[in-house]
Chains A and B, each alone.
Chain A
Amino acid sequence: MFLLSFVRIIKFGLQDIYRNIWLSVVTIIILILALFSINMLLTVSVISDTAITAIKEKIDISLYLKADAAEEEIIALKAELSNLEQVKDITYISKAEALEFFREKNKDNPEILQALRELGRNPLTPSLVITPKSTDLTDSLISELNKQDSELIDSRNFTDHKLLLSKINNITDKVKEVGMIVSIIFILTTLLVVYNSIRVAIYTHRKEIGIMRLVGASDWFIYMPFFLSGIIYALVGILAIILIFYPFLGLLQPYLEAFFSGYDINILSYFNSNFIFIFGIEFLGIALINVLASLIAIRKYARV
């Protein structure tokens, strides 16, 4: 009996979709547009996060060493600092390399190069360029470096780093806050559009719902085909958005790589590695909204 009713519910749900094909197509198109918007929002969020991380990664900490420090002592200090838990990477820049970088950086400035030649010696000191594991650890890394009492260290003024990082953190926090508010408004609007389109779809069936009640259909028998239709709409919408959005991401990827040159940004691999989570949540969310909208609308028309 239950199995028979279940099979009938599936039959009626599918029948409802193909016998109202234009209504079904319009509803699915609205779902696809809504899903496209949500995935675009997600893409923008991933891109902005990458941009913020890229800016923060630009900030590394340089520890300037005494000009006469022996190379083996520097290597030993480097090894010692590498053991700090906040440190991701340390690059040793020798006096000669520092001079080379300086010359390269100022190759278009003949006055500076001339002054360097007149000086007759390498005025630059060796340094250790330290990259923290994450920007959140920068403060604690700086305080660790301040504790180092090695005689090799010539300069450890990190105030500029702290100020810059604080400004960047301030801006990124604001960007995230605004982004969050915009996202919430956007997602709510999208969900309301979906909710309303399902209610309109049910509205066109209002007489049928009343008739079903009058010929003795139970609430379960009336509601379930509409719930099923709502779930099928969500499923078709998700499958369609996967087919539409991946080529779109494929087109976007070269532009992102060009824009974030030198940084690891791959929006396709982000969607690939979070595929189940992203599209699973979207499917569940849309299906839930569809079922909820159906429930509310049918209750209104099944009062006979």
Chain B
Amino acid sequence: MIKLLNVSKIYKPNTQALKDVNLHIEPSEFVSIVGRSGTGKTTIIKILTGEERLDQGKVLVGGWDITNIGRRETPWLRRQIGVIFQDFKLLPKKTLAENVAFALEVCGNTPKKIDSIVPQVMKIVGLEGKLGRYPHEVSGGEKQRAAIARALVHRPKILLADEPTGNLDSINANEIIDLLLRINKFGTTVVLVTHNREVVNKLKRRVVTLDNGMVIGDRAVGKYIL
């Protein structure tokens, strides 16, 4: 589903973010990418979403070579994958339901389809009573649920989660991880980037460990080893 082949990335002037990274992620896998801050975890997410270009290597997403993806193609890539962020990245002047609907609107879905899908997805993430609330009116956990709903609403094959629990307390963090596990059960490939040791150890799934931009560990059922 995702292939990174000898990927290197240098941020100007000379910060090596990734160095010769090889990573294969199969469909329906749940992979945690762990490591200290600044080890290149988020750079991988940014490369997979077309936000950053790599300096060397090759990247394939669902068989699509996105190594040299153009600006015009980037929206198409982003519509195939769902992404959630530590800071939620919800549109502040739209309600939670409108935020979720926006992901469908940019794809050109009909209002009828949007009206039918959005409440269903909001129910899956446990926000059925808060469709009309604005992001500033709900808790951090609820914001992240809305962000997950937005990421899922166009039924992506891949869900990228960049430190999704970073701004949440442990109860909300566990709920979000449980939600990601449920999403994975439906067949969605989940890539979780985190430095939350507790979360990773509890998951008992594949763990890829990065250090100084290099993969230093890749275990099928791993633990946070740093």
Shortest beta-carbon distance from A203 to chain B in Å: 14
For chain A, the count of residues having a C-beta within 8 Å of the partner chain is 22
Instruction: Determine whether the beta carbon of B93 is less than 8 Å from that of A215.
Output: no
For chain B, the count of residues having a C-beta within 8 Å of the partner chain is 24
Instruction: Determine whether the beta carbon of A216 is less than 8 Å from that of B106.
Output: yes
- B90 proximity list for chain A (CB < 8 A): 211
Known: A218-B75, A304-B51. A212 touches B108 (CB 8 A): no
- A1 proximity list for chain B (CB < 8 A): 108
Q: Is B103 an interface residue (CB 8 A)?
A: yes
Shortest beta-carbon distance from A10 to chain B in Å: 13
Shortest beta-carbon distance from B6 to chain A in Å: 25
Q: Is A139 an interface residue (CB 8 A)?
A: no
Instruction: Determine whether the beta carbon of B102 is less than 8 Å from that of A215.
Output: yes
CA distance A207 to B94 in the complex (A): 13
CA distance A218 to B107 in the complex (A): 9
Shortest beta-carbon distance from A303 to chain B in Å: 9
CA distance A27 to B150 in the complex (A): 32
Instruction: Determine whether the beta carbon of A212 is less than 8 Å from that of B93.
Output: no
Shortest beta-carbon distance from A209 to chain B in Å: 10
- B93 proximity list for chain A (CB < 8 A): 15-16, 19-20, 208
CA distance A121 to B74 in the complex (A): 102
Kindly supply a per-residue 1/0 record for chain A positions 210-222, scoring 1 wherever the CB is within 8 Å of any chain B CB and 0 otherwise.
Answer: 1111111111010
Q: Is B165 an interface residue (CB 8 A)?
A: no
- A221 proximity list for chain B (CB < 8 A): 106
Instruction: Determine whether the beta carbon of A215 is less than 8 Å from that of B106.
Output: yes
A residues engaging B (CB < 8 A)? 1, 4-5, 8, 15-16, 19-20, 207-208, 210-219, 221, 304
B residues engaging A (CB < 8 A)? 49, 51, 71-72, 74-79, 83, 89-93, 102-103, 105-108, 110, 150
